[in-house]
Amino acid sequence: MTKYLVLILVIGVVIWLVTAANARARAQSRRGEQTASTPVQDMVRCAHCGVFQSKADSFEARGVYFCSREHERLR
């Protein structure tokens, strides 16, 4: 009888270990997806109105960034 109890205990521990390892792997892959779907973008500030936006959407003039051509002109 004790033999079966030990066997059940061992099976229980193995199942727990596998579940814990799976949960960890899932959490890690979720984190990986998040960083992949939201790449770090260079944010710059408009020198005229101070709004933050990505560097790719901004207009640069002599090292200063603007949110629009209008604000670049108004500087």
Q: Contact positions toward Zn ion, by CB under 5 A? A: 46, 48-49, 67, 71
- The C-alpha atoms of residue 18 and residue 33 are separated, in whole angstroms, by 22
Q: How far is the CB of 45 from Zn ion (least distance, A)?
A: 9
Beta bridge partners of residue 39, listed in sequence order: none
Q: How far is the CB of 46 from Zn ion (least distance, A)?
A: 3
Q: How far is the CB of 56 from Zn ion (least distance, A)?
A: 16
- Alpha helices, DSSP H, located in 1-75: 2-37, 69-74
**Comparison of 21 and 49: residue with beta carbon closer to Zn ion:** 49
